[in-house]
Amino acid sequence: MKCKTSKTMLAFVLAGASLLTATSAIAQAAASQDNAVVSDQDIQLLRQDLRSQKKQLVASNLKLTDAEATKFWPVYDQYTAELSTINNDKYAVIKEYTNNYGSMTDAQALSLMTRSLAVDDSVAKLRMKYVPIVNKVLPGAKTATFFQIDRRVTMLIDIQLASALPLIQDQK
């Protein structure tokens, strides 16, 4: 059992590294010294790639029966659509941050932080909303596993972005 768990964890880490590579496109633009502007198209392509990779990661790590899969994937798609709407704000904050880095006022910095924290709150509330919905189509352990995978992937993406975005106070 430990060997199987170790292999699953290794696969998860490797897939997560792939997600981190995709995320670095925005982070590198933000960290560059030439104040590169992040386009809406760049962000949209990155987000599509991340959603696709995330779904593959969930599929490879959440062991579902055919009956469970038939019920789960439509719920997953609905959850992802709602999460994507919330993440519109997340990526708008990142875009605004990158496009204003170097000339950001105190008021802008506080606004971005407040908006970023509101995104985190909205994501947590969405997960809470979906726990009973997912649990209607999956048993408890698989429901918990899904949300564990979801949080891990989100944390991997967030840590990559956070580590690459320069601190606001360093902009001057």
d(Cα 79, Cα 41) in Å, to the nearest integer?
A: 23
Q: Which residues of the chain have pLDDT under 70?
A: 1-48, 172
Calculate the dihedral angle through the C-alpha atoms of 72, 74, 77, 81, rounding to the nearest 10 degrees: -130
pLDDT at 2: 47
pLDDT at 16: 47
Burial of 150 (0-12, 13-18, 19+ CB in 10 A): buried
SS3 state of residue 36: coil
pLDDT at 151: 92
d(Cα 137, Cα 73) in Å, to the nearest integer?
A: 10
pLDDT at 34: 47
Q: Give the CA distances from residue 67 to residues 63, 74, 140, in Å, rounded to whole numbers and listed in that order.
A: 12, 12, 16
